[in-house]
């Protein structure tokens, strides 16, 4: 969408300060919506919009991870659109580490632009590794923006389970965000976020398994319907690809 998206974004936010994420994303072309081949715009009414933010790049997940092949196959029954969110080189860690500017940008800029250009329905946030944390942080900060979550091998770091990650520049920020999310919102407060369905997949032998199981337990305590799928793999693109079916199909089907 390139420059067209940049112009649309600029016209919608001229009256408010621009975050670092927003300024950088305009230069990088953050949004690249993809429509699987069988999806005709006429039949897209009520379709599910799927927003993907991945560990390496969404483009890699779309190709090597077979995300678009999966979306094309399922669109014969459930029309779906996929928006790939590619971070600029060198900014993945900064943006995905539960960065509030990034969450605000997706909710306030990216989703409205997507909705202005294509017909969408419920939005599923898909993320792998640190991207899973980014999507969960988005849902917690802007609960109305996401209808369901598919979180793969999430980097839900805690000092208890992940001391080996202390060299990561954003480790303390990630741990603080995980503590905040796990503590849960005040469900009795006005405007408290509604629980959304959550799919968590994680490899049998990967280091993130313990923190994923802990996050799944925390989200269940907050009344989110959580499905956990343990796959016979590690923290790999192929493992994420192989976890799509049937769990993601079921997650989407239950939204219609």
Q: Per-residue pLDDT tens for 204-240? A: 999 999 999 999 999 999 999 999 999 999 998 888 8
pTM score, two decimals? 0.79
Count of Cβ atoms closer than 10 Å to residue 146 Cβ: 22
Strand order in the sheet with 31-34: 31-34, 80-85, 48-53, 123-128, 148-152, 198-203, 226-231
pLDDT the model gives residue 17: 35
pLDDT the model gives residue 66: 75
Binning pLDDT at 50, 70 and 90, where does residue 254 land?
confident
- Give the Cα separation of 97 and 233 in Å (integer): 24
Q: Which of 42-56, 118-132, 162-176, 209-223 has the lowest mean pLDDT?
A: 42-56
Domain 31-186+193-253, what fold? Rossmann fold (3.40.50)
Residue extents of the structural domains in the chain: 31-186+193-253
pLDDT the model gives residue 117: 83
pLDDT the model gives residue 7: 25
């Amino acid at each position: 969408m390139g420059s067209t998206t940049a112009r649309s974004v600029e016209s919608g936010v001229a009256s408010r300060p621009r975050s670092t994420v927003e300024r950088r994303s305009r230069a990088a072309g953050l949004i690249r919506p993809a429509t699987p081949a069988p999806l005709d715009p006429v039949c897209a009414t009520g379709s599910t919009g799927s927003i993907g933010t991945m560990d390496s790049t969404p483009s890699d997940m779309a190709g090597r991870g077979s995300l678009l092949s999966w979306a094309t196959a399922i669109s014969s029954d459930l029309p779906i659109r996929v928006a790939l969110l590619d971070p600029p080189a060198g900014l993945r860690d900064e943006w995905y580490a539960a960065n509030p500017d990034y969450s605000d940008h997706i909710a306030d800029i990216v989703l409205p632009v997507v909705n202005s250009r294509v017909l969408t329905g419920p939005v599923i946030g898909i993320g792998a590794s640190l991207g899973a944390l980014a999507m969960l942080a988005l849902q917690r900060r802007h609960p109305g923006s996401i209808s369901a979550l598919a979180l793969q091998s999430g980097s839900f770091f805690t000092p208890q389970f992940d001391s080996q990650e202390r060299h990561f520049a954003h480790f303390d920020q990630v741990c603080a965000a995980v503590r905040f999310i796990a503590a849960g919102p005040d469900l009795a407060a006005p405007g408290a976020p509604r629980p959304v369905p959550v799919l968590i997949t994680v490899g049998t032998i990967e280091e993130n398994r313990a923190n994923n199981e802990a996050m799944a337990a925390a989200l269940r305590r907050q009344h989110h319907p959580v499905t956990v799928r343990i796959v016979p793999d590690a923290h790999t693109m192929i493992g994420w690809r192989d976890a799509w079916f049937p769990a993601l199909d079921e997650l989407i089907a239950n939204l219609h």
